[in-house]
Amino acid sequence: MSPRAKKKPSGIVTFVGAGPGDPRLLTLRAIEVLAEADVVVADEATLRQVLFHCKSGVEVLDPVTGDDGELLSAVARAKVVVAAARSGRQVVRAVAGDPCVDQSVIDEVTAVAKAKIVFEVVPGVPVSTAVPTYAGIPLHPTKGSGGVRVLDMAEGTIDWATVGSVEGTLVLRGALDSIAEIAQELVAGGRKPATPVAVTINGTTTEQRTLVSTLAQVASDVRAAKITLPAVVVVGEVVAQRDTLSWFETKPLFGWKVLVPRTKEQAVTLSEQLRSYGAVPHEVPTIAVEPPRTPQQMERAIKGLVTGRYEWIAFTSVNAVRAVRERFEDYGLDARAFAGIKVAAVGEATARALVEFGVKPDLVPSGEQSAAGLLEDWPPYDPVFDPIDRVFLPRADIATETLVAGLVELGWEVDDVTAYRTVRAAPPPAETREAIKGGGFDAVLFTSSSTVRNLVGIAGKPHAVTVIACIGSATAKTAEEHGLRVDVLAPEPSVSALAEALAEFGTARRAAMIEAGDPVTRPSERRPGSRRKAK
């Protein structure tokens, strides 16, 4: 009698609430299970929120439509999930909002349970509470009673007149097809025609928009605004508090598409700062890094570093750290080779790259993060306390002589070594080039003269409506030479100060529009036909 083949164990299905739209609103548990998932089952909109947290190579399945393009039922969707789990894999079924709020998702969970598949449900931030919060609208009324009631506008069995007879806040979700009839029924039930109404689309994202109206006017206002997307509608006196409590849509750069001419790795801190102001950063590299044409100079310098030739090594960029680290890996070295050597970093980003390498810098400028700032804090050579008078300076082939000259003046000998070459990057995709030239970006941040020249060279000149922000006077001069009017100049030459200066510009611009009684628009929403000329 032949032994029985062992049955392959089923995997686990985890239903994950992906929240209302902002990927940062996922729970810690949701991020954990997404990182372990072999298969993610999600519609296109939800997938965008969760895919960032998944491992590379994760399989993606669409549970929404069948081969004929028809929407699948809850049971049919569950079959997709069950089939994936029975192959022994970890399956995540990601849904918008909170899984236990949507009856169709509950039906999926029930079907998976009946199939005897092990499952877990991870709650998510509900759309019905998160979107009003991001719109600056608290749900509980300050006066009266009635509490909060959440309803689906597509539910055909709701007696809206009866709903209108009860006090309190109404939160309505879904398509706006029947908003006119619902508003009329609410008024017929007893709600005042002047009852405030807020309609929010794309909630919790930088594309969020909120229309404030009344029950009497909401249908015509929605038509006039050409709102066709599903929305979250809040009905009640609480909407009036939006004037005071709106915090998201009033951020200084809310919804601005900001071009950052750097790689994603270089722009991490800057992009995060821009996001904190409500902006949507778009990184476009303007330079590419290549090895030096002759590697012998770097080879000698690395050997000298190991044999004790240097007292200091100074890193002036993240690319310099990467170049030295790659050389170390070629030779089988690690951070221990820096033992006994003082290490300097030109700024915080370079310092972070060193820490990731396992090296804690001894010197980071306390003021300006530049070669000049580094020289301000650099100690002069002292033959009594410094046994070696030499500094290893791995840099780009186009680096300026400011740091070398300053170190020599302080009494140090400098080995200025080409660690990498900088060349103009390849042009960005066609849609990015069109957005740059056609006014699709609200602002561009120029962090050096070379970024101006290279961006114009690979993508063309930014449109007249685009706000031009420059890190310093030299960069601003280069921008003006290319026919651009500089709108923002950083008060000090740092990327953090540059982003902050742009935010202050956005705040002043918004205030001026409000004072003039104009609608608040982004620069890209006003596109004249001619490009800006330097004056």
CB half-sphere exposure, 146, CA atoms < 13 A: 22
Residue 528 has pLDDT above 60, yes or no: no
Residue 190 CA to residue 156 CA, distance in Å, equals 20
Helices (H), 251-332: 268-276, 296-307, 318-330
12 sits in which H/E element: strand 12-17
Q: How far apart are CA 475 and CA 502, in angstroms?
A: 15
* pLDDT score of 258: 97
Which pLDDT tens digit goes with each residue over 206-246? 999 999 999 999 999 999 999 999 999 999 999 999 999 99
Element housing 342 (H / E): strand 342-345
User: Which pLDDT does position 358 carry in this prediction?
Assistant: 93
Task: List, in order of start, the domains of the chain with CATH numbers.
Answer: 12-125 (3.40.1010.10), 128-245 (3.30.950.10), 257-286+427-527 (3.40.50.10090), 292-417 (3.40.50.10090)
Inter-CA distances, 363 with 209, 378, 411, Å = 46, 8, 18
DSSP 8-state class, residue 21 = S
This prediction has a pTM of 0.77
Note the pLDDT of residue 1. Answer: 42
What DSSP assignment string belongs to 504-521? HHHHHHHHHHHHTTPPP-
Could you read off the pLDDT of 266-276 as tens digits, one per residue?
777 899 999 99
* Mean confidence (pLDDT) of the chain: 90
Rounded distance between C-alpha atoms, residue 78 and residue 84, angstroms: 10
Residues 6+ apart with CB under 8 A from 39: 58, 59, 60, 61, 84, 89, 90, 91, 92
Mean pLDDT over 113-137 rounds to 96
pLDDT for position 535: 34
Q: What is the pLDDT of residues 78-120, one digit of tens each?
A: 999 999 999 999 999 999 999 998 888 999 999 999 999 999 9
CB 278 within 8 A of CB 252: yes
Q: What is the Cα–Cα distance from 499 to 519, expressed in whole angstroms? A: 24
295 confidence band (pLDDT: 50, 70, 90): confident
Model confidence pLDDT, tens digit, residues 232-243 = 999 999 999 999
> Looking at residues 141-154, what average pLDDT do you find?
84
529 falls in which pLDDT band (50, 70, 90)?
very low
In this prediction, residues 32-45 reach a mean pLDDT of: 93
Q: What is the mean pLDDT of residues 469-483?
A: 94
Please compute the mean of the pLDDT values over residues 38-62 and round it to a whole number: 90
Sheet containing strand 12-17, edge to edge, reads 59-61, 39-41, 91-95, 12-17, 118-122
The Cα–Cα gap between 279 and 273 comes to 9
* Contact (Cβ atoms closer than 8 angstroms) between residue 395 and residue 316: yes
Per-residue pLDDT, averaged over 323-344, amounts to: 92
Element (H, E) at 196: strand 196-201
